[in-house]
Amino acid sequence: MTIKFSQSASLITGASSGLEEEFARTIAARGGNLVLAARRAERLPGIKRVIVTNSKRMGVFRTDLSKLHSVGSVNAHGNICVNA
């Protein structure tokens, strides 16, 4: 099965560092649309600036998935979810 990242939105939680940040870079390099979510939201604009040139669309927002109300709001933003 081949995933066409350019035809989907990838929600990446914990995107402010580590593997998740690398997943964001990889998906963006394949032309994917990204939604980056993290508790450490202050890092997300810098990450967005670095990889936005490859991604057609990208959104960033602060969320804490340990809070139940955050789970529903995050889930509505992507049809591919990366939560490593």
Rounded distance, CA 39 to CA 32, Å? Answer: 22
- Residue 70 CA from chain centroid, whole number: 15
Task: Please spell the DSSP secondary structure of 36-62, one letter per residue.
Answer: EEES-GGGHHHHHHHHTTT-S-EEEEE
Beta strands 58-62 and 33-38 are parallel
Per-chain mean pLDDT for the chain = 75
Query: How is domain 5-82 classified at the architecture level of CATH?
Result: 3-Layer(aba) Sandwich (3.40)
Q: Which of 9 and 19 is assigned the larger pLDDT?
A: 19
Tens of pLDDT, residue by residue over 26-74, are 888 888 888 888 888 788 888 887 777 666 677 777 777 666 556 555 5
CB 64 within 8 A of CB 70: yes
18 has a pLDDT exceeding 80: yes
